[in-house]
Amino acid sequence: MYTSILVIFAQITRLESRPILMGSFGAVFGVSSVLGPLLGGVFTDHATWRWCFYINLPIGGISILTAILFQPANSPPGSVTDPRPTLEKVASLDWIGGLLSVSTVICLLLPLQWGGWNDKVIVSLFVVFTVLLIAFIAWEYRKGKDAMMPLSLFLNRSQVGASLNVIFSRIAFLGANYYLPFFYQAKGRSASQSGVDILPFMLSLILASIVGSGFVKRTGHYYAFLIIGPLFASIGAGLLITINERTSSAKLVGYQIIFGAGMGISVQLPMLAIQAEYADRPCMVPQATSLIMFFQMLGGSIGVAIAGSVFNNQLSKELPKYAPSLPPKMVQLVKQSVTIIFELDPTLRSGVIHAYIKALDYIFIVAVPACILCAIASAFVRSWNVKTREEESRKPIQRTEP
């Protein structure tokens, strides 16, 4: 649905007006990211964690009903009416490519999440991932223009740069966003209170998204923000590496703001860059947009999986150092839930808290190179002026590279 909304934007708006729209979209994403941890904490503290999933049913139903009632059934931009019957068109979809892609992603995420690189199951999953990836690429090459993921898109440097940008940015963002509340919970805050504690991070992301979009709307240029944003975020992530149980509230808020602002200022720009890139070929916009969304979701999944693996492995190393008398059974329970810490004997608690926070530092150690790689990937994205791109795209141009 999210991808469809972005494609609809491309249909009903001019490119020059999209920075503000996408900025507002980023702000909505930020608001939902703020409300998500808060509601999740409330559900966990006062009801059941299952409501974190139940709540999607009414919200999803409202979204579907709204789309049916208010969204015209327009054809995708640049498309040609297909006279074939509906069942024939459904049958012609790249079902095998879809199955291969899902299987490939699963075989990548599971070993990343489980960790333990000497384990036979982990090694086997990586081998299966490699085989499935080769099979997927071969199948998509065979399908050509009818492929779910046309390989010709990867001949475009902006597509490659934007795809890598969203992978690395989501690795940094979602890994940190998922585990930052645990830092506060390890200090004794409840799940709902920890959602409030990360508000500086999310609110700075929202504000930076709006401000950055305003600058792009005014100047027409997005390229500088694509690079500056991740570099700024890497500074914030680097500062977050230094936090411990004695770090002052002022520093915690400041570090979160730097990290969030860096993430927010460029959060929607890869999508804008891709739509500017294909302004002269509107029929490519849906596929190019979908590809960016695929890598965005993949990056987020990889980020959470890597963060979980790094945290668990590091916690296993830190607990024997700072809480050597902790029973093995309690070690496993501490890994499963941060709230177990406060059920421990007070003589063990301070050492376990210190080990827990030391392990969390490594989440931000992962975020720093991810942000830097995000900035490097952004350098490959072509710089267009969104104010004039649509007019330029209507003129015949000589393209020296795909």
Phi–psi pair at 162, nearest 5 degrees: -65, -35
Q: Are residues 222 and 333 in the same domain?
A: yes
Looking at the 3D structure of the chain, how many domains does it have?
2
Q: Are residues 203 and 277 in the same domain?
A: yes
Four-residue CA torsion sign, 21, 60, 149, 163: positive
Q: Which CATH number goes with the domain that contains 222? A: 1.20.1250.20
Identify the DSSP state of 244.
-
Q: Are residues 229 and 158 in the same domain?
A: yes
**Which contiguous run of DSSP H or E holds residue 159?**
helix 157-186
Q: Are residues 256 and 134 in the same domain?
A: no
pLDDT given at position 396: 52
Q: Are residues 104 and 224 in the same domain?
A: no
Four-residue CA torsion sign, 43, 47, 50, 51: negative
Q: How far is CA 55 from the centre of its chain?
A: 21
3-state secondary structure at position 187: coil
pLDDT given at position 234: 96
256 falls within a domain = yes
CA dihedral 109, 113, 119, 122 (to 10 degrees): 0
Q: Are residues 17 and 59 in the same domain?
A: yes
81 falls within a domain = no
Per the structure, the complete domain to which residue 143 belongs is given by 94-147
Neighbours of 206 (CB within 10 A): 23
In whole angstroms, give the CA distance from residue 92 to residue 53.
Answer: 33
**How high is the mean pLDDT in each 10-residue block of the chain (402 residues)?**
68 74 71 72 76 83 82 59 72 86 90 75 90 93 83 91 95 88 86 83 88 87 93 95 90 94 89 88 83 90 88 88 85 82 83 89 93 95 85 55 47
261 falls within a domain = yes
Q: Are residues 266 and 122 in the same domain?
A: no
Q: Are residues 385 and 267 in the same domain?
A: yes
Q: Are residues 143 and 284 in the same domain?
A: no
In the block, tokens 């390890």 appear at: 186
In whole angstroms, give the CA distance from residue 372 to residue 234.
Answer: 7
Out of 147, 169, 188, pick the residue that ends a domain: 147
Q: Are residues 314 and 213 in the same domain?
A: yes
Burial of 250 (0-12, 13-18, 19+ CB in 10 A): exposed
pTM of the model: 0.82
Out of 147, 164, 190, pick the residue that ends a domain: 147
77 falls within a domain = no
SS (H, E, C) 266-287: CCCHHHHHHHHHCCCCHHHHHH
89 falls within a domain = no
399 falls within a domain = no
80 falls within a domain = no
In whole angstroms, give the CA distance from residue 232 to residue 372.
Answer: 9
Q: How far is CA 176 from the centre of its chain?
A: 11
Out of 147, 166, 187, pick the residue that ends a domain: 147
122 falls within a domain = yes
Q: Are residues 292 and 309 in the same domain?
A: yes
Q: Are residues 191 and 258 in the same domain?
A: yes
